Amino acid sequence: MNSLPSDLERAFQAKIDNEYKIEPKDWMPAGYRKNLIRQISQHAHSEVIGMQPEGHWITRAPSLRRKAVLLAKVQDEAGHGLYLYSATETMGITRAELIDALQTGQAKYASIFNYPTQTWGDIGTVGWLVDGAAICNQVSLQRTSYGPYARSMIRICKEESFHQRQGYQIMMELAKGTPEQKSMAQDSLNRFYWPSLMMFGPHDSESAHSAKSMKWKIKRETNDDLRQKFIDQTVPQIEFLGLEHPDKDLKWNEERGHYDAGEIDWEEFHNVINGNGHCNRQRISHHVAAHEEGAWVRDAQNAYNAKMKARRAEAA
């Protein structure tokens, strides 16, 4: 049974309706806090887990310029993870708790990172399509109702558009390169196109979190609207590369002013989310291994800080 909204709840919703940002010390409904912790931390985890498939190619980047750019990009992702963990911490939860939720499977990360990066071409498509899809979502989140999240999105979007350009540049070089390079580009596009569309989540009619999130203006645009934007913007980009579009049912719809797209394989989507992707287990066990291997370093740092504090206290 739903109880009537309290005065606090009404005031909260009025603030949101009037486009005021909610700040950490403001009153907020427990559901709003929970929803945001889930969403921001999932975003943070995605940045961090996303370092693995791309980091996988740093040591093999085929030119020094590419190596430097990729290294800088992956480093940015770590930075994004850091701001987003900090934004989540403003909701009264610690980074250690968030990491624990990731490692025990209670928290999710973007399922796209469960797909393997098999070739250098994948570094192109991950930058171009995966970061491109993420940007569509994040541009809209710059107007999200929670202040710290909205502000971190503004900064992150600037860097993500550099990431998307670096991905597209890789694709341009491949597409105009040798026949082997061109087929590397096409193969990678074929593998990553559909999973990129899945990044926007289920259809609006199926989305568990959508209605509430829209009311609270955590989300500003629906999954399907954002996905449509991405589909439309990607068509000329594929054409410019001279590659074949992986969606054979794609058709311009004059009336809607949008492309009609073929149906996404939702069975695959659920399959990968539910643990049957190539890399689900690998991503988490890599994260756990690095975290456990680093425990002695963190312990040493804490012990050192405590010793220094004691020394200073003694001297005072």
Partner 1 sequence: MLDLKEKTKQYSTRLGDDSLILGHRISEWTSNGPFLEEDIALGNVALDYIGRARMFYTYAADLAGNGKTEDDLAYLRSEREFQNYLINELPRGDFAFTMVRQLFVDVFFSYYLKALTNSNDTELAAIATKSLKETRYHLRRSRDWTLRLGLGTDESKARMTKALAEIWGYVHELFEPDELELELIACGIAVDTREIKDNWFADIGAILSEADLAIPDAEWAVRGGRKGYHTEHLSMLLSVMQSVHRAHPGANW
d(CA 24, CA 220): 20
Handedness of CA 85, 88, 90, 91 (dihedral sign): negative
CB of 4 to partner 1, least distance (A): 44
Angle between the 179-198 and 223-241 helix axes, to the nearest 10 degrees? Answer: 170
Q: Are 110 and 187 in contact (CB under 8 A)?
A: no
CB of 34 to partner 1, least distance (A): 24
CB of 289 to partner 1, least distance (A): 8
Binding site for partner 1 (CB under 8 A): 48, 51-52, 55, 58-68, 71-72, 74-75, 78-79, 81-82, 85, 120, 170, 173, 177-178, 180-181, 286-287, 290, 293-301, 303-304, 307
Q: Which is nearer to partner 1, 81 or 167 (CB)?
A: 81
Task: Give the 3-state secondary structure of residue 191.
Answer: helix
Among 70, 60, 162, 72, which Cα is nearest to 118's? 60
> Quick one: 1 or 64, whose CB is closer to partner 1?
64
CB distance 150 to 143 below 8 Å: yes
Contact criterion met (CB below 8 Å) for 152 and 83: yes
Q: How far is the CB of 150 from partner 1 (least distance, A)?
A: 22
Which of 154, 310 has the CB closer to partner 1?
310
CB of 308 to partner 1, least distance (A): 8
Count of residues for the chain?
A: 316
Residue closer to partner 1 (CB basis): 48 or 135: 48
Q: Which is nearer to partner 1, 62 or 275 (CB)?
A: 62
End-to-end CA distance of the chain: 61
From residue 93, how far is each of 86, 111, 146, 302 by CA, in Å?
A: 10, 24, 16, 20
Least distance from C-beta 307 to partner 1, angstroms?
6
Instruction: Specify the residue, 37 or 70, whose C-beta has the smaller distance to partner 1.
Output: 70
